[in-house]
Amino acid sequence: MAKKTVRDINVKGKKVLIRVDFNVPLKNGEISDENRIVEALPTIKYVLEHGGRAIVFSHLGRVKDEADKAKNSLAVVAKRLSSHLNQEVTFVPVTRGKLLEDAVSKLKDGEILMFENTRFEDLDGNKESKNNPELGKYWASLGDVFVNDAFGTAHRDAASNVGIAANIKETVAGFLLEKEIKFIGGTLENPQRPFVAILGGAKVSDKIEVIQNLLKIADKVLIGGGMAFTFFKAMGYEVGKSLLEEEKVELAKELLVLANGKIELGDDVYTGKAFDPNTEKNVRSIDSIPVDEMGLDIGPRTTALFESFIKDAKTVVWNGPVGVFEFPRFSEGTKSVAQSIADIKNQATTIIGGGDSAAAVIQFGLIDGFSHISTGGGASLEYLEGKVLPGIQCVDDL
């Protein structure tokens, strides 16, 4: 999927609209994780260093009422961005109107402004999220070219990506979006083998299409986390108080048949009597989980099995923790998987599919141990499902 990037256009003297994903977590009004800001810096710096006039914008959180609006201003993000760039970022506290238009017209080459949270427009009939044609056209009118660098919203058909692209002469990818296309899209199209996919998280229902798509492509699909217990139930085992989607058991049976041996679940788990960080910890074979216990992590034999497939892999894609890694005593499985993948970085392409998996590797101090850590949770999932993402499709082809 060859797409034009910001390298393929001349930005000097042009008003460059840059859609970034600055949907960062806030705690007491302060940014608690700035990774998405850092990931956007190469594109923004490129535009500024090449004489472009950068107009940066993003969503932040869900905005359904005035209370959401009050706590989700991008002003704090503009301040952090300014410190990273070592230059002033003019913050415009509106999403449209004369104040914004005047600020854009005053921009000089190499200068940057950021306007307010695009989802503030959702207070008036979901105009941003529902790709209101008039809003996309308005935002497009503010710039000469459009750089989409927000992979985190690439699965959304919104006014701030697809809407702008439909109303502007040139739409190109930023470096972050280019990286996501290369690593996730390119890997799915032409993986080096053996290709091992690791899927975890809570629910089979969240990843049905991912499993179906990866079974066509991967050599092995390792499944852990809460979703594994629906498969164990499908295999005839009792799972005690473990997380279970009873209505998906028949589907799990179908997937196991479809897999024809590709799915690996292991044969033991660590259990506790309650979903609590201080609950007792026991190791159980999957055929002997007590009725009053729940599985909270993959067991030592399963960990060793997963490691044996990972160590020989040439491509690894991981989406979803294999245990409750937030609880220290039930984090061993997820940490071992993360370390095993990090250990083969020099011999394989290793991709972390965003969301909780990315949070886990950051928690374990392994953020530099992978070829690529995706910045998109939902977008990564849909990309792994083999879907066409609107935010990528709208970028001009090479």
| pLDDT at residue number 250 | 96
* Residue 269, both tokens: 């788990």
| Count of other CB atoms within 10 angstroms of residue 98 | 8
Q: What is the pLDDT of residues 293-326, one digit of tens each?
A: 999 999 999 999 999 999 999 999 999 999 999 9
Cβ atoms 67, 61 nearer than 8 A = no
Which strands make up the sheet holding 294-298, listed edge to edge? Answer: 282-285, 268-272, 294-298
Give the domains, in start order, of the chain with CATH numbers.
Answer: 6-178 (3.40.50.1260), 191-384 (3.40.50.1260)
Within its chain, how far is the Cα of 167 from the centroid? 27
Report how far residue 176's alpha carbon sits from residue 180's, in angstroms, rounded to the nearest whole number. 6
Angle, helix 35-49 to helix 75-85, in steps of 10 degrees: 60
- For the chain, which residues score pLDDT lower than 70? 1
The model's pTM is 0.88
For residue 154, the tally of other CB atoms under 10 A from its CB is 31
Q: Is 226 a catalytic residue?
A: no
* Residue 345 annotated as catalytic: no
Tokens of 173: 């990818």
Query: Considering 355, 369, 376, 377, which one is annotated as catalytic?
Result: 355
Catalytic residue among 15, 203, 314, 329: 203
What pLDDT, on the 0 to 100 scale, is given for residue 1?
63
Known catalytic residue: 19?
no
The active-site residue, picked from 3, 14, 36, 119, is: 36
